[in-house]
Structure 1
């Protein structure tokens, strides 16, 4: 049980990091193209 909980938690953290990366990329692109 613990291992499955850890894997789901890692997946959630990875998704949050990916969302933050997309936001940073969008802001960076907006800064360049504005």
Structure 2
């Protein structure tokens, strides 16, 4: 089983990109990730 940190690092870029597309604001996407 992966630890939370491993899962977080594994999907960080995808989640950030998703939030950036959703919000249209880099600062918001960075804050949420």
Structure with the greater alpha carbon radius of gyration? 1
Q: TM-score, normalised by structure 1?
A: 0.39
Q: TM-score, normalised by structure 2?
A: 0.40
Q: Which has the higher helix share?
A: 1
Asked which structure has the greater RCO (Cα within 8 Å, sep 6+), the reply is: 2
